[in-house]
Amino acid sequence: MAEDVPATYRVTLRNRGDAVIEVGADEPIYDAALAAGYQLPIACAYGGCITCAARMIAGKVRQPKGTALNRRQSQAGYILLCVARPKEDCVIEVGVESHGDLYQNPFAVKRG
Amino acid sequence: MMSDNEKACCGGPGYASPAEAMKAPREKLLYTVALYTGTGIEKPDYLATVDVDPDSPTYSSVIHRCETPNIGDELHHSGWNACSSCHGDDSKSRRYIILPGVRTSNLNIYDTADAKNPVLHKVISGEEIKEKTNLSAPHTVHCLGADIIISMLGDADGNAPGGFLHINEDFEIVGRWENDITGMNYNYDFWYQPRHNMMVSSEWAAPNTFMPGFDLDDVGAGKYGQSIHFWDFEGKKIVKSIDMGAEGMIPLEVRGLHNPESNEGLFAATLSSNVFRWWKTDDGDFEIEKVIDIPTIDVEGFPVPMPSLITDILISMDDKYLYFANWLHGDLRQYDISDIKNPKMTGQVWLGGLLGKAPEVNGVAVQGAPQMIQLSLDGKRLFVTTSLFSTWDNQFYPDMKDKGGQMYIVNCDTENGGMSIEPNFVVDFGKEPNGPSRCHEMRYPGGDVTSDIWM
Ligand code: FES
């Protein structure tokens, strides 16, 4: 890694008063938020269950082993904070209140 | 320590027979799990004690709450350390209730020596289970003498098919129970009939598939189960699997008749919304046949025909009635199964549901619909809760996360058939002190119609 690349990025929690937390490039955002005093939703902690989903407003993350999101959910901007590690500074909306577009009733959707 | 309702002849837990169990004193307390997973309240799930004694001043309310140590468990099903199989063994008692967290794989074990006020006794961490057995996502708990086995729905990474976790009576991990899992695609519930050396297991999906929510594309891709498995119980291996195709999609709860000599029972294929009978033939083979078929309904605003979604079923202690919940349509049904090949519907009530037939019951707006059910030992009171699973609740009944689930009692006529909602009972988990929670599986301190098996 080149020396001018920071080992941590700034992640802004939009709906927690725009709190800014420093997150290591190889640290799950959930862990950093907890250490900073923000208890966010968590369950399986391995990327398989969607409980920790948050919505990305800006930025990029890497999500090793994150399998819980389908294409629609990813396209809507959802990431899994238990596995998501920042690749750059990010702005995210967290908690169940960010889950408005995460779930849909499958019988309410026209199928092609 | 024996609970109040267990008047035993032989010192051990439970009852000498199903007929004896039916004569037990009426239940006064009931436990239910209550969840904050997926509600936006970042608190642990908890075990709630509900007062169900009509002569008590706190009837129809939660009288005790005991949190798990971690958030996000998703408490779901539960089971006892001992049941009527140990009735003749006075060294055993029905004292500890095991509450698995499906999402964290933690096993939370509560001591109910003080029946009103259970306390946390021990936690077996999901990490330890994954490390020692490569299993995750615990579901059904059954005791078998000194041993306890738990169906596990995935491997340590949440992939299918999972297996069975074996723990001992001191709540230590022994290892995996099964010798051979060949033939099983997915795992979910199981029931066993020790006198016939058999076990039946069903299939939901891999945790990585069902935990994020229900997606019809996953059904199309074959990621949900449609097979039922019959086991050689002693040999701990599958002897026959039956793929039911479109008629048997997502087989969940499996029940056996309570008569310990019987070798038959019923299970529901949840998505196909059919009830099947299973039985062992005279020459030792296993067979199934469909005995109830609930049609889909075209609902305005829903382009896909809506299945009823039979999520929980149970059989009364005298093997006379079958009860089941249609979680999307919103009704609870009673069938006379005196002739088990030809069940006859004898009762029905509506509670919530997407058909909108009973949006408010006993003065409370119902969130969800009939889901988990538990029947009193005498068969006269059916307890019902409305939450299924946090992510699925959030898809089908999104208001529940803000308004909580509910618990009702349905009075059941055991002579002539028939059901009616008890007007004086509703526990609204929307009013919990820490905020609205979801209520799910229920157990009585003295055992119930889904906990006890007679060896
Ligand atoms: S906590 Fe399960 S996917 Fe993150």
What interface predicted TM-score (ipTM) does this complex get?
0.93
Q: What is the pLDDT of residue B7?
A: 44
Angstrom distance (rounded) from CA B196 to CA B280 = 9
Q: Are B37 and B74 in contact (CB under 8 A)?
A: yes
Any domain includes B7: no
**Residue B4 belongs to a domain:** no
Split at pLDDT 50, 70, 90, the class of B281 is very high
Task: Please list every residue in chain B whose beta carbon sits closer than 8 Å to the beta carbon of residue A95.
Answer: 40, 42
The Cα B220–Cα B305 span in angstroms is 16
**Distance linking the first and last C-alpha atoms of chain A:** 46
CB-based contact, B304 to chain A, within 8 Å: yes
In this predicted structure, the answer to whether residue B384 has a pLDDT above a threshold of 60 is: yes
pLDDT bracket for residue A112 (50, 70, 90) = low
Interval B388-403: pLDDT, tens: 999 999 999 999 999 9
B177 confidence band (pLDDT: 50, 70, 90) = very high
Rounded (10°) CA dihedral B290, B292, B297, B303: -30
pLDDT at A5 over 90: no
User: Which residues is B62 bridged to in the sheet?
Assistant: B50
Q: Do residues B34 and B439 touch, judged by C-beta distance below 8 A?
A: yes
Q: How many domains does chain B have?
A: 1
Which pLDDT value is given to residue A54? 98
Range of the domain at B97: 18-443
pLDDT of residue A109: 86
Confidence check: pLDDT of B8 > 50: no
| Residue range B36-54: mean pLDDT, rounded | 98
Q: What integer best gives the mean pLDDT of chain B?
A: 95
A 26-65 near B (Cβ less than 8 A): 39-46, 48-51, 65
Query: Which of B87-96, B231-240, B293-302 has the weakest average pLDDT?
Result: B87-96
What integer is the mean pLDDT of B89-109?
A: 95
Angle at A25 between CA A23 and CA A28, to 5 degrees: 60
| pLDDT in the model for residue A2 | 52
**pLDDT band at residue B453 using 50, 70 and 90 as cut-offs:** confident
Q: What one-character-per-residue DSSP string does A32-98 give?
A: HHHHTT-----SSSSSSS-TTEEEEEE--EE-TT--S--HHHHHTTEEETTT-EESS-EEEE-SGGG
Identify the CATH number of the domain in which residue B280 sits.
Answer: 2.130.10.10
Question: Which numeric CATH code is attached to A2-93?
Answer: 3.10.20.30
Place of tokens 């396209």: A75
Single-letter amino acid, residue B307: P
Q: Which of B36, B39, B43, B104 to mutate to test the interface with A (most CBs of A within 10 A)?
A: B104
What is the number of the ligand 1 atom nearest to the C-alpha of B103?
2
Q: Is B433 exposed, middle or buried (0-12, 13-18, 19+ CB in 10 A)?
A: exposed
Q: Which residues pair with B438 in a beta bridge?
A: B35
Residue B166 has pLDDT above 70, yes or no: yes
What pLDDT shows up at residue B137? Answer: 98
User: Is B373 contained in some domain?
Assistant: yes
Per-residue pLDDT band for B155 (boundaries 50, 70, 90) equals very high
- Binding pocket residue ranges, ligand 1, CB within 6 Å: A 42-45, 47-52, 68, 80, 82
**A48/B74 touch (CB, cutoff 8 Å), yes or no:** no
The answer to whether the Cβ–Cβ distance between B157 and A65 falls below 8 Å is: yes
A70 and B212: CB-CB below 8 Å? yes
Which DSSP symbol is given to B25?
P
